[in-house]
Amino acid sequence: MTFPWNVYLVAVLSAGVVSAASLPLWRRWCLRTGLMDDPGHRKIHDQAVPLAGGLAVATGLVLPTVLAAVLLWWQGSVDGFRLISQDALPAVSSAPLNSNAAFLLRYGLNRRALELAGILAGALGMLAVGWLDDQRELRPKAKFIGQFLVAFLVAASGVRITLFVPNVVFHYTITILWILTVVNAFNFMDNMNGLCAGLGAIGAWYFATLSAAQGQYLVGLIAFLTFGALLGFLPYNFPRARAFLGDAGSHLVGYLLAVLAVLPHFYTARHPRPWAVLIPLLVLAVPLVDLVWVVLLRWRKGQPFYIGDTNHLSHRLVRLGLTRGRAVVVIWLIAAAAGGLSYLWL
């Protein structure tokens, strides 16, 4: 039983439309509540910009998910009533959603309910950590503790990296380290208009198509929802920014990409490809390499690794003579090329 590709298209469109439609509302809310990014220090903008992006992306991700869950519950109730009244097998359903897709989704949701609940709770938790940082400029230790607690919650829900090592402590440790690394890598990359959101969309696209091609439809749907939500936000952020992701948004994007890298089964009994576990490193090569580079550079200079500077890849491309917009596009292209190598393992 194959999963219909039109459902993936619906996921992208619904997330994109909701994200784009909600952003003006969140933008007004930010203006009213003072949730703004003021110019100054290393900032390149000359006026305050609303930090509405993360809230819009979260809305584009959560609202279609909740509506789909309600639709599935309603369709399941209708089909159940029809079976009782007709005492027949559900070969064909007259409900709105394709019967094969509905059956597979209900089966997958029931089978991975705890993991999915943990993923959703983690997304909202990471969004909250970033939102608090936007509001109060949390100290690095407090922000790290928040990130750690969210990562631990997700690992406890069953979303874990194993790397073929039969040890639960190792699974928790490597999963938490991975989530913290990717979250902070995307937080570091949020330094020019469209850069973080664009890299997130590119990464989500690759995880979505790779998962869908291997029949991992739940992972594919989460990734396509993420892709759509980020696409809906990007026109407000690039090339001219009417809204920023903020730490709330960069935390959310990094978290989603970290989880999407863990969820797919790149190595299976049907496809025993040990080297396929390196796929996430290719898809997320640009933010990870940038993170390692700037951390090592700050360490060599005796600076705290969490203190920002202008030594990121984007800044270096601008110093070479590119405009900020072109520097962002060049980095997108590099990320797309690196991620494209992952198709070699399909």
Task: Give me the tens of pLDDT residue by residue for the chain, a chain 346 residues long.
Answer: 567 788 899 999 999 999 999 999 999 999 999 999 887 555 565 578 999 999 999 999 999 998 888 887 776 654 544 444 444 434 433 344 556 666 667 766 677 778 888 999 999 999 999 999 999 889 999 999 999 999 999 999 999 998 888 899 999 999 999 999 999 999 999 999 999 999 999 999 999 999 998 888 889 999 999 999 999 999 999 999 999 999 999 999 999 999 999 988 776 556 666 677 789 999 999 999 999 999 999 999 888 888 888 899 999 999 999 999 999 999 999 999 999 998 887 7
Q: What integer pLDDT is reported at residue 95 of this predicted model?
A: 42
Q: State residue 50 phi and psi, 5-degree precision.
A: -65, 140
CA distance 5 to 117: 24
Q: What integer pLDDT is reported at residue 105 of this predicted model?
A: 72
What is the greatest pairwise CA distance in the chain?
A: 75
CA distance 102 to 96: 9
| Cβ burial, residue 320 (10 Å; 0-12/13-18/19+) | exposed
CA 206 to chain centroid, in Å, comes to 12
What is the 8-class DSSP label of residue 94? -
- The two tokens of residue 289 are 């390499």
Rg of the chain on CA atoms, in Å: 21
Helical packing angle, 217-233 and 5-33, nearest 10°: 40
Judge whether 263 and 157 are in contact, CB under 8 Å.
no
Nearest to 251 by CA among 126, 153, 100: 126
CA distance 188 to 331: 14
Q: What integer pLDDT is reported at residue 46 of this predicted model?
A: 58
CA distances from 12 to 31, 104, 174, 208, 221 (A): 28, 19, 31, 10, 9
Query: Measured on CA atoms in the order 322, 326, 331, 336, is the torsion positive or negative?
Result: negative
Question: 3-class DSSP state for residue 157?
Answer: coil
List the beta bridge partners of residue 37. Answer: 49
Question: 3-class DSSP state for residue 95?
Answer: coil
Nearest to 72 by CA among 112, 106, 24: 106
Judge whether 148 and 179 are in contact, CB under 8 Å.
no
Q: What integer pLDDT is reported at residue 70 of this predicted model?
A: 83
Judge whether 225 and 61 are in contact, CB under 8 Å.
yes
Residues 6+ apart with CB under 8 A from 93: 75, 79, 99, 102
Q: Whole-model pTM?
A: 0.90
